[in-house]
């Protein structure tokens, strides 16, 4: 049986990171700012983040794009910390960064949901869920369902 081809080639990514690291060292020695991350490395990071977001741990969230964006941002922030002398596995390095970025985003979103729920509780459901039937033509039931869900969650 033929072996399945990986979506990110780890040896190629490692070679690209070594080249990029050399460019960064040259720029630092010359007193310039770091060069732009090569497109290949960016594509690999995007592929890793996108594929990780499809895992069952993260697949059900509505803010998946924000999670992926956070993961990419963190990878680009910490790309300079990857040392090819210590590790030959950049795929694992970036996967860990993205994984924890996803967890941080989930915590932020849960905190925001709790804040929204507490605001609705404090102000009262009727003030927040006030609906004019003439404007929404029968959408009152949708708002009642939302109100019931919030009340159920807070029991």
Is 117 domain-assigned?
no
Same domain, 128 and 106: no
Is 46 domain-assigned?
yes
Predicted model pTM: 0.76
Parent domain of 140: 124-155
Return all residues near 51 (Cβ < 8 A) that are at least 6 apart: 7
Range list of H helices, 54-155? 64-77, 90-123, 125-128, 133-136, 140-153
pLDDT at 64: 93
Same domain, 30 and 92: yes
- Contact (Cβ atoms closer than 8 angstroms) between residue 71 and residue 98: yes
Counting as low any pLDDT under 70, the low residues of the chain are: 1-4, 124-147, 149-155
Is 26 domain-assigned?
yes
Whose structure tokens read 């780890």?
10
Indicate the DSSP class of residue 2.
Answer: P
Q: How many domains does the chain have?
A: 2
Same domain, 101 and 132: no
């Amino acid at each position: 049986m033929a072996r399945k081809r990986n979506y990110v080639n780890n040896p190629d990514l490692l070679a690209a990171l070594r080249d990029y690291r050399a460019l960064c060292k040259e720029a630092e020695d010359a007193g310039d700012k770091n060069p732009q991350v090569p497109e290949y490395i960016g594509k690999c990071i995007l592929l890793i983040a996108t594929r990780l977001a499809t895992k069952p741990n993260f697949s059900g969230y509505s803010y998946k794009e924000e999670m992926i964006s956070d993961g990419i941002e963190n990878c680009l922030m910490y790309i300079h910390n990857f040392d090819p002398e210590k590790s030959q596995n950049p795929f694992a390095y970036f996967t860990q960064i993205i994984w924890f970025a996803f967890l941080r985003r989930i915590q932020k979103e849960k905190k925001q949901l709790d804040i929204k729920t507490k605001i609705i509780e404090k102000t009262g459901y009727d003030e927040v869920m006030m609906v004019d039937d003439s404007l929404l033509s029968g959408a009152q039931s949708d708002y009642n369902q939302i109100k019931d869900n919030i009340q159920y969650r807070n029991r």
